[in-house]
Amino acid sequence: MTSYEPIAQIHRLRRSRATRAKTALKKAPFSAWFGILVIIGYVIVAVFAHWIAPYGETQVFSEAFAPWSQQFKLGTDQLGRDMLTRLIYGARNTIGIAVATTLLSFAVGVSLGLLAALYRGWLDQILSRAVDVL
């Protein structure tokens, strides 16, 4: 007769993927946590820019190159626009460009990888050398 108890013990000892992920996050260094918090903060600022920014995105004031003041926390630019507002709204563009670039590079990489795997031979060698150069 065989016993199924060892298999049951193995399943009990095996941790779930979520538990392993939590453990890995707990062991992450301080610099990783700091980076994650900066990225999360940047995304929050970009998403809630309309409510965080002190002025409208296109609002222009008559004071060009105004220095730091109570009204303009980071001063104004050559056209009289508030620099803090421009930085906050600029986060939206930056995140959009980063996401688009990541998706584009992913699509190109997957497509070339599939071509190399499908056709093999000389095409695989050429694509492999091109990636080696990069």
Tokens, residue 51: 């409510």
Specify the residue for token string 């990783």. 32
Return the C-alpha torsion angle 52, 35, 107, 122, nearest 10: 160
pLDDT (average), residues 83-110: 95
Q: How many domains does the chain have?
A: 1
Task: Kindly state whether residue 92 falls inside one of the protein's structural domains.
Answer: yes
Task: Kindly state whether residue 86 falls inside one of the protein's structural domains.
Answer: yes
Q: Tell me: the pLDDT tens digits for 53-77?
A: 999 999 999 889 999 999 999 999 9
Sign of the torsion angle spanned by Cα atoms 19, 24, 27, 30: negative
Task: Kindly state whether residue 9 falls inside one of the protein's structural domains.
Answer: no
Query: Sorting pLDDT into bands at 50, 70 and 90, what band is 12?
Result: low
pLDDT at 118: 93
Tell me: pLDDT of 51 over 60.
yes
pLDDT at 88: 96
Could you tell me what percentage of the chain is helix, strand and coil, using 3-state DSSP and rounding each to the nearest 5? 70, 0, 30
Task: Kindly state whether residue 12 falls inside one of the protein's structural domains.
Answer: no
Task: Kindly state whether residue 13 falls inside one of the protein's structural domains.
Answer: no
Residues 86, 88: Cα–Cα separation, whole Å = 5
Task: Kindly state whether residue 17 falls inside one of the protein's structural domains.
Answer: no
Tell me: pLDDT of 3 over 60.
no
Task: Kindly state whether residue 105 falls inside one of the protein's structural domains.
Answer: yes
Name residues whose C-beta falls within 8 Å of residue 128's C-beta, 6 or more positions apart in sequence.
Answer: 116
pLDDT at 18: 83
What's the pTM value of the predicted model, to 2 decimals? 0.69
Tell me: pLDDT of 113 over 60.
yes
Tell me the residue range of the domain where 64 lies: 28-133
What secondary structure does DSSP assign to 58-85, as a single string?
Answer: T---S-TT--S-SS-TT-B-TTS-BHHH
Tell me: pLDDT of 13 over 90.
no
Q: List own/partner pairs for 57-61 with CB under 8 A and 24 or more apart.
A: 57/85, 57/89, 59/85
Q: List own/partner pairs for 90-93 with CB under 8 A and 24 or more apart.
A: 91/42, 91/45, 91/46, 91/49, 92/46, 92/49
Task: Kindly state whether residue 8 falls inside one of the protein's structural domains.
Answer: no
Distance of CA 95 to the CA centre of its chain: 7
